[in-house]
Chain A
Amino acid sequence: MAMRATLRCLSANFSPRLPLLSSAGRDNRAARLRWVSGTRRTFSSCSVLSTALKFTEKHEWVQVEGGIGTVGISSYAQDALGDVVYCGLPEVGQRLEQMDEFGALESVKAASELYSPLTGEVTAINTQLAENPGLVNKDCYAEGWLIKMTIEKPEEVDALMDQAAYDKFIKSLEE
């Protein structure tokens, strides 16, 4: 619950002095997730690649498995938001176009709109977040996932940034 007095915004002039998870930390965590997911899959030799995290410029991640995309926000985003106190998520069955507003995360900082990274239908929402919105901060790549959705346009996934590109993107914002 540390007060981030110098915190100004979600992007651009984000201060590098603030206690962000280190790049290495983020990479390790994401890599662990890929490895765990990869070992569960048995029918594709490209299994690790297809379950790798992809990122949007709005700091959301998507992980695809079995034709379903799991969506969450990145470590950079959760740190910029501050402590999440409420997750406003869509209904299961709601159809989203890429870039549609699908909900908001409320933190002490603001109500931050969430934008759909893909076009598809919501198949599940993380009901744990109702009782424990802080999961978005504590475990943003795993337990803090937000929604799962179908993927109507796989090309949208291909166009997202991979981990390396996203790390580069973050660095460019911090400069």
Chain B
Amino acid sequence: MLQLRRTLALLKGETGNQLARTGSSLPFLDSANNSSGLVLQSQSTDVYQNLALEDWIDAHVDLQQRGILLLWRNQPAVVIGRHQNPWSECNLPAMRKMGIALARRRSGGGTVFHDHGNLNLTFFASKKAYDRKRNLKVVTEALRRLRPNLDVRATDRFDILLNGHYKISGTASRLSRKSSYHHCTLLHSADRSALSTVLRPSCPGILSNATPSVPSPVANLIDHAPSLAWEELLEALVQQYNTEFGLSSVFTLVDPSSECVFPGVGNISTELRSWDWTFGRTPKFRVETLLELRDEHLPARCSAQLQMEVKGGQVESCRLDVPAGWLPLWLSRQLSDVLVGERFCPHRAAAAVTAMLRAEKGQFHSRLNNLCEAVLAMMG
């Protein structure tokens, strides 16, 4: 970090003096001359704070004359696109065990895994200047300058592929009233084992019109360029950004949790953390699956069919077809009724079925319990 600061202090040069003259501690709110750009690096690794910062900049900064590049990375997190279904995109139980957060961003696109080895770049611009191809050129050119032997190319889908095969970067964007942002990931040294563990569905049998991810084989840059250091990469990207856009950028470290610098950003991150946004915004979907039930005492097993409609993350309807010989119909119907109106969430559902399980003390208790567990397991 120290080396980066020293190196990047050189980049500040004259524009650093300009800042002193204007006396502004908020360079991004000052519409300075057009040849100066702005490169921000977030000091936070909290995915919700960083996503909130993006939305804050998009809403509050005048991007008509000048673009901004924001560099950031997060503690392990899965980030789904605006209109995606987390239950079909990622392994929620595994994420809970591993302490990996889930966030839904406001841009479109697919699901990605973030960690300290995955660099995020956000290119803010006016809608007129929105140009993903040009932004990705910043990345590919920077990489080529760093390691001329690396075969990196942007595709029509705005992925960046290494050796024509491994995805090292994915892209998503958002267009708002007057401005735009295009962000992309860049796999430097991410934990690929964690990545492949979490980027799997939680729940089988989901039928949905949510936007799906396009799975791709991935690689880290360090797999193919082992000596490439993180700081070296950042420096090269900043330099290439300046070259591509003809700028001499001011580089600033920012704290996305600062209400002084970014008034109102806390409200944005609160909303992004909320269940209502993360899960409740999931497009309506249907689950159709078979539950495998067993009775350890006999032993015996059977299959039950489950059909559920989930809207706004809540169970709108539930149908459980359990063979009548396994459990009386009225019990499986009662379970369905209890689940309707609850969040599609194993914790909430567990709380809802607890009373019902306590009430059933008879011969069916163990089978009912088994059925409840199967339903909860299905919810991720």
Residues of A within 8 A of B (CB): 3, 8-13, 58, 85-86, 88, 91, 101, 104, 106-113, 115, 130-131, 133
The yes or no answer to B195 lying at the interface (CB within 8 A) is no
Cβ-defined contact, A109 with B127, below 8 A: no
- Smallest CB separation, B206 vs chain A (Å): 15
Q: What's the Cα separation between A13 and B127 when bound, in Å? A: 10
Cβ-defined contact, B156 with A9, below 8 A: no
The yes or no answer to B128 lying at the interface (CB within 8 A) is yes
Given the interface contacts A113-B177, A130-B284, does A106 sit within 8 Å of B108 by beta carbon? yes
Given the interface contacts A111-B106, A111-B108, A131-B209, does A11 sit within 8 Å of B83 by beta carbon? no
The yes or no answer to B180 lying at the interface (CB within 8 A) is yes
Q: What's the Cα separation between A110 and B130 when bound, in Å? A: 10
Given the interface contacts A85-B211, A106-B108, A110-B174, does A9 sit within 8 Å of B82 by beta carbon? no
Contacts of A133 in B (CB 8 A): 209
Contacts of A130 in B (CB 8 A): 209, 283-284
Those of B166-200 within 8 Å (CB) of chain A: 172-177, 180, 182
Cβ-defined contact, A113 with B176, below 8 A: yes
Cβ-defined contact, B209 with A112, below 8 A: no
Instruction: Taking A86-B210, A106-B211, A110-B172 as given, write out 11 further A-B residue pairs in contact, using a Cβ cutoff of 8 Å, ordered by the A residue number.
Output: A10-B127, A13-B128, A86-B211, A88-B82, A104-B106, A106-B82, A106-B83, A110-B175, A111-B107, A112-B175, A130-B283
Q: What's the Cα separation between A145 and B126 when bound, in Å? A: 27
Cβ-defined contact, B211 with A110, below 8 A: no
Cβ-defined contact, A11 with B127, below 8 A: yes
- Smallest CB separation, A166 vs chain B (Å): 18
Q: What's the Cα separation between A140 and B173 when bound, in Å? A: 23
Contacts of A107 in B (CB 8 A): 108
Which of B106, B127, B172, B211 has the most chain A CB within a 10 Å cutoff?
A: B127
